[in-house]
C-alpha cells in the first residue's frame, strides 16, 4: 500500500498558475500508475491527468490538456501537477492516486487506483 499526501493548493486568482505536489511513501512506485483527480462540491470525481511511473507515459483529460502538465521526480517519489490559466471552474479538491499499472481499467478511471491522498483544496477567484 502506498501513502500519498498532496500539497500546494490554496486561493488564487483567475489566470494564475499553481503547482501541486503529491509525495508518496510506503514502497517502490515501479510499475505503478499515478493520477490526479479533482472533485468540486456536488460533482463526480473527475480525471485530470495520469503518469506511468516507470516509463513516464502521460495521459490528460481532453478538456484540460492545454492547461495542465503532469510530471514526476523519481528520486523524491513525488508527482507534480502544474496548472496554468486557472479559472473559477477549476475550484475543487485535488486528489492524487496510485494503482498497479496493469488491469482492466484505463488510467482515466477511478477504479484503476487503489490508494488515494486526502486531497488539497484549490480555490480560484474571479
Q: What pLDDT was estimated at residue 118?
A: 98
Low-confidence ranges of the chain (pLDDT < 50): none
pLDDT at 103: 82
Integer Cα distance of 26 and 98 in angstroms: 12
* Res 1: pLDDT: 87
Q: What angle do CA 101, 105, 110 make, to 5 degrees?
A: 90
Interval 72-96: pLDDT, tens: 999 999 999 999 999 999 999 999 9
Contacts of 104 (CB under 8 A, 6+ apart): none
What CA–CA distance (Å, rounded) separates 120 from 89? 16
Q: What is the pLDDT of residue 43?
A: 96
pLDDT at residue 27, rounded to an integer = 85
Amino acid at each position: 500500500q502506498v501513502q500519498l499526501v498532496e500539497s500546494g493548493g490554496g486561493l488564487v486568482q483567475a489566470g494564475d498558475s499553481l503547482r501541486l505536489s503529491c509525495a508518496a511513501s510506503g514502497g517502490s512506485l515501479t510499475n505503478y500508475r499515478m493520477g490526479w483527480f479533482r472533485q468540486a462540491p456536488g460533482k463526480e470525481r473527475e480525471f485530470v491527468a495520469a503518469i506511468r511511473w516507470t516509463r513516464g507515459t502521460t495521459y490528460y483529460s481532453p478538456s484540460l490538456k492545454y492547461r495542465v502538465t503532469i510530471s514526476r521526480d523519481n528520486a523524491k517519489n513525488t508527482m507534480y501537477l502544474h496548472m496554468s490559466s486557472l479559472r473559477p471552474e477549476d475550484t475543487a479538491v485535488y486528489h492524487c492516486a496510485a494503482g498497479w499499472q496493469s488491469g482492466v481499467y484505463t488510467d482515466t478511471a477511478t477504479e484503476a487506483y487503489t490508494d488515494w491522498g486526502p486531497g488539497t483544496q484549490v480555490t480560484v477567484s474571479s
